A and B are shown apart, each in its own frame.
Chain A
Amino acid sequence: MSASLVVATSLEEAARQLAEGARPIAGGTDLVVGARQGKAPLPERLVAIHRLDGLRGVDEVDGSVRLGALVTHARLAADPVVRARLTALADAAAIVGSHATRAQGTIGGNLMNASPAMETGGPLLCFGAAVTLRSASGTRTLTVDELLAGLGVTTAEPDELLESVTVPLPAAGTGSCYARLEYRRQMEIAVVGATAVLSLDDGGRVSRARVAMTALAPTIRRVIGAEEALIGTDAGPDAIRAAADAVAEAATPISDVRASAGYRRAMAAVIAQRAIEAAAARARGGGDAVPCPASPALHGGLSS
C-alpha cells in the first residue's frame, strides 16, 4: 500500500510534488488495478490530480481541440466536435474497458501508461496530436509520436505531468476510424487494432492518409507503406487491400493467451482493411456512413 497520498489543489502543487518524487494518479484505472494484479506495487508517494478542474476541459482553440489530461473516455466519446471531426478518437474512447472504466479513466492516464494496446493512441498518433508536459521548471510540447517510446515507456521525465493533449482538426473531406478485433462487446482489450485517417480531394482522391496499428508491435505505430498505398488513389478495394497487407507485413505480433502470432497477423490485415474502408466511407458520405463507435458494427463487415 502507498505510504502517502497528497491531493493537489493547483497545478503548481502537483508539479512540486512530482519534483519531490511523487507519482501522479487521476482515475487510477491502470495504477490501482495493476497493483492489485501484482504488476507493479503502488508508488510510495502519490499525488492525486483529480481535483484540478483546469485539466478537465474539451476546448476548440485555433483549429485544434485541446483536451485536458483529466478528460474521461466517456466525455471524449460523447463530445460532438470529437465525434464529428475526430471520429476515430470517439470510436476508440467509446470502447475502452467498461462503462465504469470509461467514466473513471482519463486520456492523460491512458497516454502516459503507454500500453501498445491502448485504444486512443492510434487516433492521436494519426491526427498528429501533441502533448503539453508540465514540471516545476515550466512546460514543453512533444508530439504523441515523440512521447511513446516503448512498452509502458514514455520520453516524459519523472517530474513531468501531462497537462493537455492538443489535436489539430483535420481538413474538410476527412474521414477517420478506429477499429478493434472484439471477442466480446464490453470489458475487452485490443488484441488487434487499426486506425485510418483519410482526406479526399474534390475529385475523390486520397490527398492525405494516416494509418496506424495497435497491439501489433511494442508501441502503437504508423505504417508508412500503408499510407503510401492509399495516397493518390480513389481508396478503392485494391488500394485498401494493398494498404491492409502493408499493415500485416509491418506487424511484429506475439503469441500469448489472447491469440497466436499467425492469427494476429492475419487479423492485422482484416481489421486494417475495415478501418480504412470505414474511414473512406465517412470521408465520402458524412457522419451516417458508419455508426460510432465503429468496432461493434464492423464485426461481420460494413453492410450490416
Chain B
Amino acid sequence: MATTTERPTVIRQDGKEKVTGSGRYTADLTLPGQLHARFRYADHPRARIIRIDTTKARAVPGVLAVLTHEDVPDVLYGQMVKDRRLFAKEEVRYEADVVAAVAALTEEQAERAAGLIEVEYEPLLPLTDPEQALADDAPLIHERWASYEGDDTMGREGNVLGHSTIVKGDAAAALEQADVVVRSRYVADGAHGVPIEPRAVLAQWQGDRVTIWSSSQTPFPARSGVAHCLQIPESNVRVIVPLLGGGFGAKCDFHYEAHVAALARAAGRPVKLVFSRREEFVAPDHRRESIVVELETGARKDGTLVARRGRLVLDGGAYCGEGGFFAQLAAMHACGPYRIDTVDVDAKLVYTNNQPSGSIRAPTAPQTCWAVEQHMDEVAAALDMDPVELRRRTLIREGDESATRQVFGPLGMLETLERATEMIGYGAELPADEAIGVACGWWPSFGSESGAYVKLNGDGTGTIVTGAQENGSGAVMGLPLIAAEVLGMKPEDFSVLYQDTDAGPWDMGSSGSQTTFNNGRAVSAAAGEVRDKLLELAAEQLEIDPLDLELVDGMVRGRGAPQKAVSIADLAGSGATIIGKGSGVVPENPACAPDSGCVGRLGMESFLEPQLITHAVHVKVDRGTGVVRVLRVAAAHDCGTILNPIGAEGQVLGGVVMGIGQALSEGMQLDAMGRQLNPHLLDYKLVTAADAPRIEVGWVQTPAVNGGPNGAKGIGEPPCVATPGAIANAIARAIGTRVRRLPMTPERVWEAAAS
C-alpha cells in the first residue's frame, strides 16, 4: 500500500467490539414487554386502493395494534418533495409501499395478522421504464404532483421529478466544426447499497416523549420526519443509533421510525421492527438509480474537446425522498473533470413505479462516469490517440473554467492520472486476454452546518459530544485525532458520545462524504475553545503570558521553557468547567455562471473542493464464458490532506471492491410488473473477499484551500466512482468491442465478444 503521509494513524474505538461480536446493533436490543412489528405491503406495484379491512387481523390473539392511514395524521412527507404518506391511502406506487402495520406479542402472530388484513385494489399497469414515463401520453405516477410541497428549483413537471441542464456556448455549432464526432448510448441497470445489517427500529414511549433506536445514517432528519408525521415537537423525539452495520447511503433519510413509534403508542408497549433481507432489498432508497446516458462529443485532431452534448434519464422510482438533486449531479458527471469548450447537457429524474432511488455511495456518479469514460475512450479511438494521452490533454488544471464557468483552484487531477497509470504499469506488454483500462472522475465536497462539544474530564482525558453519525466508515472514529492535535493530547485520551439527537448538535448525518469535512471542522473549533480555556488557566498558574504557552504531551508549558509546565489533568481536575463548543464557518460553494441557460440549480452547479480520482485496472477476460477477473487496481486520489491514513485507505479498498461489484455482477432485475426478481444475496451478486484484487492506493495531497480541517476533503464516496469505467475500458481493450450495459455480466461480455 503506497502512502505519502506521515500523520499518525488511529485505530478505531469501535473496532474491537465489532470484530469480537460483543458490539450491540439495533436488532440486538430488547426492552421488557416489547412487541414485534410486521408490515403489510402493497399487493401490486401500482393500484388504486378501494377498501382496507383490518377486522380479522385485530382478532388474532396477541395482536395489540393494527394501523393504517386512518390511524396517523393525514400528512405528506419527504425531504425535498412531500409526495408520500406513512401508509398508502388512495394508491400504492411500488411493490414495497406500506399499507398497514401490526404489532403483536410474537413475530409469528404479527406475520399472521398482517396477512389477514384485507385490501381490495383496482390494479393498474405499472410504469417501470423511465424513458416511457417521459412520453406525453404516459399516466402520471402522482396525479396531484403539482400540489405537492417541494423545492421550487427542481424543475418538476408531471412525471419529471427533477430537471437540470448545463449550457455553455453553442455546442451544436462547435460539433459542426469538430474533426471527429462520437455518439454513444449507455444504459446502467439499478444496483443496491446492501448494508450487511438489515434495518431495525425499536421505539418506546414515556409519557409524551418517544425514544427511538434506529439503524439510521441520518438521525436528525429521522427525528424531523417522526415529529412531522406524528405532528409532535422535535423535543419529544429522541433518536439513538446503536452500532450501525453499514449503510452505503441506503439508510439515509427518514423511513420507518414513525411507523414503529405510532405502533408503540397505539399498543402502549415498546415495539421492535427488524427487516428480513428481502425487505431490505425492496426498501426505499436501497437502490442506486438506473440511468440512460446518451453522449455526443466533438474533438479536434489534437484532442481538444470542442463540444459535449448529453441526454440523461434517471429512474427516481415512486417517491423523491432526499434524492431530488440527482439530475443535477448526473449532469455535472456527464461533463466530468475535463476542459470542454461548449456544453449542452440535459438530465431528467423521472418518477416510475420502481423502488425509490436513494443516495447510494456517490449517487449517479459510478454509472455516469462508466458511460462518460467509455465514451472518452471511443473519442480517443476516433482520434487514433492513446486514451491516457487524450485525458492528459483534457483533464482540468488550476485556473481552468468548468462547464458552469467555475474557476478551479489548486488541484491534482492530472497527477492522479500520472500516478495511477504509473502504479499499474500502463503500456506494458500483456497476454492477449488481459488488458488495462483507465477512468477518471470527480466528486464534490459538501459544506454543511455541523457542531460538536469537547469537554475535559478531571483526569485529563476528554469527551467529544458530536451530532455526527458513524456509518462504519470510521469518520467519527477519526474525530479524536483532530481534537488531540489541537490540545496536545493523544487520540486515545478521548471518548466520543455520538448518534443521539438529545446529545450532539444538529448534523445532516453520514452522507455526502461530509463528516470529516464539516464535523472535523466543528471538533477543531470546539477543541480550540478548550485550548483557550486551558491557556488562560495555565497562564494564571504559571504567570506566563498565554501567547508564550504551548500544549504538548498532555502538558501546558512555556515555549522555550518546558520546565515551567502544568499538566492538563491538573488543570481539568481543579474543578474548573472546561467545555468548548464549535461549528466553524461553512465553506461556500465557488462562484459560477449566474445565468448560462442552466435550470435545476440545487447547489451542485459548482463543485466545492472537488475530490479527484483516477483508477487504472488490469483485467483478465475469459472469452469463452465472458467471465472477467480483476487482477489489480491502482487507485490515485486527490482528496486534499489525508488526516488518518488507515481510515482513508480503508475507504479506497472498500470503494474499489464495491465498484467491481457494480461493474461486473450487481444489477437489479425486474419482472414485467415491476417486482424485483433477485432481492436476495444468492442472486444479487456482491463481490466476495475471494474476488478482491490487489489494490494499490496513491495519494495526491493538494491541500484544500476552502475545505475541511488541515486542508482535508471527503473520501467516503469517491473510491467507487471510477472503478466501473476503468473496468469497462479494460474489457473493451481485451475483447475489441464495448459492453454498453451495466453491470457487465459474463453473459453481456460474452455476447459483446461474440458480436
Q: Do A and B bind each other?
A: yes
Within 8 A of A (CB), among B599-652: 620-622, 624-625, 627, 629
> Which has the most chain B C-beta neighbours within 10 Å: A185, A259, A271?
A185
Asked if A155 is an interface residue, CB under 8 A from chain B, the answer is: no
Taking a contact as CB atoms closer than 8 A, the residue among A183, A187, A257, A304 that contacts B627 in the complex is A183
Chain A residue contacts of B751, Cβ below 8 A: 263
Say yes or no: A184 contacts B750, CB within 8 Å.
no
Residues on A with beta carbons closer than 8 Å to the beta carbon of B687 = 184
User: Contact: B690 with A300, CB < 8 Å?
Assistant: no
B665, CB-defined interface residue at 8 Å: yes
Min Cβ gap B656→A in Å is 16
For the complex, is A189 an interface residue (Cβ under 8 Å from B)? yes
In contact, A181 and B627 (Cβ under 8 angstroms)? yes
- Is residue B422 within 8 Å, beta carbon to beta carbon, of the partner chain? no
Shortest CB–CB separation between residue B666 and chain A, in angstroms?
A: 11
Q: Does residue B495 face the partner (Cβ distance < 8 Å to A)?
A: no
| B window 655-710: CB within 8 A of A | 664-665, 669, 677-678, 680-683, 685, 687-691
Contacts A299-B627, A300-B620 hold; do A183 and B688 have CB atoms under 8 A apart?
no
Q: Which residues of A contact B629 (CB under 8 A)?
A: 299-300
**Interface residue B115 (Cβ < 8 Å from any Cβ of A):** no
Complexed CA–CA distance, A188 and B252 (Å): 31
Q: In the complex, are the beta carbons of A183 and B665 less than 8 A apart?
A: yes
Contact in complex: A301, B622 (CB < 8 Å): yes
B62 at the interface (CB under 8 A from A): no
Contacts of A185 in B (CB 8 A): 688, 690-691
- Report the minimal beta-carbon distance from A257 to chain B, rounded to whole angstroms: 5
Flag whether A4 is at the interface (Cβ < 8 A). no
Q: Which A residues lie within 8 Å of B108 (CB)?
A: 1
Q: What 0/1 readout, one digit per residue, does chain A (182-198) give for beta carbons within 8 Å of chain B?
A: 11111101000000000
Q: How far is the CB of A99 from chain B (nearest CB, A)?
A: 9
Residue in chain A with minimal CB distance to B627: A299
The reply to whether B690 and A299 form a contact with Cβ atoms under 8 Å apart is no
Q: Is A258 at the interface (CB under 8 A from chain B)?
A: yes
B433 contacts A186, CB within 8 Å?
A: no
Residues of chain A with a CB closer than 8 A to B627's CB: 181-183, 299-300
Q: Check: A5 CB closer than 8 A to any chain B CB.
A: no
Do B747 and A257 have beta carbons less than 8 Å apart?
A: no
Instruction: Specify which of B433, B625, B685 is in contact with A184 (CB 8 Å cutoff).
Output: B685
How far apart are A53's CB and chain B's nearest CB, in angstroms?
30
**Number of CB contacts from chain A to chain B under 8 A:** 59
Does A200 lie at the interface of the complex (its beta carbon under 8 Å from any beta carbon of B)? Answer: no
A2 contacts chain B at the CB level, 8 A cutoff: no
Partner of B625, one of A186, A258, A270: A270
- In the assembled complex, which residues on chain B have CB atoms less than 8 Å from the CB atom of A1? 108
The answer to whether A181 touches B625 (Cβ under 8 A) is yes
CA A12 to CA B627, docked complex, whole Å: 49
Q: Contact string, A30-56, partner B, CB cutoff 8 A, digits 1/0?
A: 000000010000000000000000000
Name B688's contact: one of A187, A189, A257, A299 (CB within 8 Å).
Answer: A187
**B624, B627, B685: residue with the most chain A Cβ atoms closer than 10 Å:** B624
Considering the complex, give the chain A residue whose CB is closest to the CB of B431: A304
A267 touching B669 in the complex, CB below 8 Å, given contacts A189-B682, A257-B683: no
With a cutoff of 8 Å between Cβ atoms, the chain B residues found around residue A187 in the complex are 681-682, 688
Kindly list chain B residues whose C-beta atoms are within 8 Å of the C-beta of A299.
622, 625, 627, 629
A105 to chain B minimum Cβ distance, whole angstroms, is 15
Cα of A183 to Cα of B433 in the assembled complex, Å: 17
Q: State the CA gap A186–B688 with chains docked (Å).
A: 7
Measured CA separation A98–B677 after assembly (Å)? 23
Report the Cα distance A293→B458, complex, angstroms. Answer: 61
Interface of B is mostly: loop
A interface secondary structure, majority: loop
A186 touches B747 (CB 8 A): no
Distance of A90 Cα from B621 Cα, bound (Å): 26
Cα separation A183 to B620 with both chains bound (whole Å): 13
A304 CB contacts on chain B under 8 angstroms: 620
Q: Please indicate the chain B residues that have their CB under 8 angstroms from the CB of A189 in the complex.
A: 682
Q: Which residues of A contact B587 (CB under 8 A)?
A: none
Q: How far is the CA of A286 from the CA of B393 in the complex (A)?
A: 55
Least Cβ distance of B431 to chain A in Å?
A: 8
B624 and A257: CB pair below 8 A? no
- Residue A260 lies at the interface, judged by CB distance under 8 Å to chain B: yes
Tell me, in angstroms, the Cα distance from A182 to B685 when the chains sit together.
Answer: 11
A7 within 8 A of B: no
The interface residues of chain A lying within 8 Å CB-to-CB of B750 are 263, 266
- A98–B669 Cα distance when bound, in Å, is 24
Known: A183-B745, A266-B750. A300 touches B433 (CB 8 A): yes
Cα–Cα, bound, A266→B664 (Å)? 20
Q: Is A184 a contact of B665 with CB atoms below 8 Å?
A: yes
Decide yes or no whether B554 CB sits under 8 A from chain A.
Answer: no
Residues of A within 8 A of B747 (CB): 259-260, 263
A185–B681 Cα distance when bound, in Å, is 15
Closest to A192 in B: B625
Counting chain B CB atoms within 10 Å of each CB, the highest count among A37, A257, A260 belongs to A257
B688 in contact with A184 (CB, 8 Å): yes
Give every chain A residue within 8 A of B689 (Cβ-Cβ). Answer: 186
In the complex, what's the smallest C-beta–C-beta distance from A33 to chain B, in angstroms?
A: 9
Q: Closest B-chain residue to A260, C-beta based?
A: B747
Q: Smallest CB-CB separation from B684: which chain A residue?
A: A257
- Identify the closest chain A residue to B747 (Cβ): A263
Nearest-neighbor residue (CB-CB) of A256 within chain B: B677
Min distance, Cβ A177 to any Cβ of chain B, angstroms? 16
How far is B683's CA from A184's CA once the two chains are assembled, in angstroms? 11
Looking across the interface, which residue of chain B has its beta carbon closest to that of A187? B688
Q: Give a binary string over A290-304; 1 marks a CB under 8 Å from any B CB, 0 the rest.
A: 000000000111001
Q: How far is the CA of A189 from the CA of B745 in the complex (A)?
A: 15
Q: How far is B627's CA from A299's CA once the two chains are assembled, in angstroms? A: 7
B409 at the interface (CB under 8 A from A): no
Compute how far the CA of A259 lies from the CA of B629 in the bound complex, rounded to whole angstroms.
18
A179 CB → nearest B CB, Å? 11
B460 at interface (Cβ–Cβ under 8 A)?
no
Known: A257-B678, A299-B629. Contact between A184 and B622, CB under 8 A? Answer: no
The reply to whether the CB of B528 lies closer than 8 angstroms to some CB of chain A is: no
- Is B654 located at the chain interface by the 8 A CB criterion? no
The closest CB in chain A to the CB of B678 belongs to A257
B residues near A37, Cβ cutoff 8 Å:
680
Cα distance A91–B681 when bound, in Å?
A: 24
Report chain A residues within 8 Å CB of B685: 183-184
Asked if B488 CB lies within 8 Å of chain A CBs, one says no
Q: What residue of chain B has the Cβ atom nearest to residue A258's Cβ?
A: B683
User: Any chain A CB within 8 A of the CB of B746?
Assistant: yes
What 1/0 mask marks residues of chain A from 161 to 193 whose CB sits below 8 Å from any chain B CB? Answer: 000000000000000000001111111010000
B669 touches A183 (CB 8 A): no
Residue from the list A184, A257, A266 in contact with B677, Cβ < 8 A:
A257
Q: CB distance B622 to A300 under 8 Å? A: yes
Q: Which residues of A contact B677 (CB under 8 A)?
A: 257
Considering the complex, give the chain A residue whose CB is closest to the CB of B750. Answer: A263
User: In the complex, what's the smallest C-beta–C-beta distance from A254 to chain B, in angstroms?
Assistant: 14
Give CA–CA (A184, B664) in the complex, Å. Answer: 10
In the complex, how many angstroms separate the beta carbon of A300 from the nearest chain B beta carbon? Answer: 4
| B683: A residues at CB distance < 8 A | 257-258
Interface centre among B621, B665, B687, B690 (most CB of A within 10 A): B690
Give the residues in chain A near B669, CB-CB below 8 Å: 257
B680:A301 contact, CB within 8 angstroms: no
Residues 713-755 of chain B: 1 if any A CB is under 8 Å from the residue's CB, otherwise 0?
0000000000000000000000000000000011100110000
Query: Knowing that A37-B680, A258-B683, A304-B620 are A-B contacts, what are 6 other residue pairs whose CB atoms are under 8 Å apart, sorted by A's residue number?
Result: A183-B665, A185-B691, A186-B690, A257-B669, A300-B629, A301-B622
Identify the B interface with A (CB < 8 A). Answer: 108, 433, 620-622, 624-625, 627, 629, 664-665, 669, 677-678, 680-683, 685, 687-691, 745-747, 750-751
Chain A interface residues (CB < 8 Å from chain B): 1, 37, 98, 181-187, 189, 257-260, 263, 266-267, 270-271, 274, 299-301, 304
A-B contact pairs, 10 of them (CB 8 A): A1-B108, A181-B625, A181-B746, A183-B664, A183-B746, A184-B665, A189-B682, A257-B669, A270-B625, A300-B620
Q: Which 4 A-B pairs have the closest CB atoms?
A: A185-B690, A186-B690, A186-B688, A300-B622
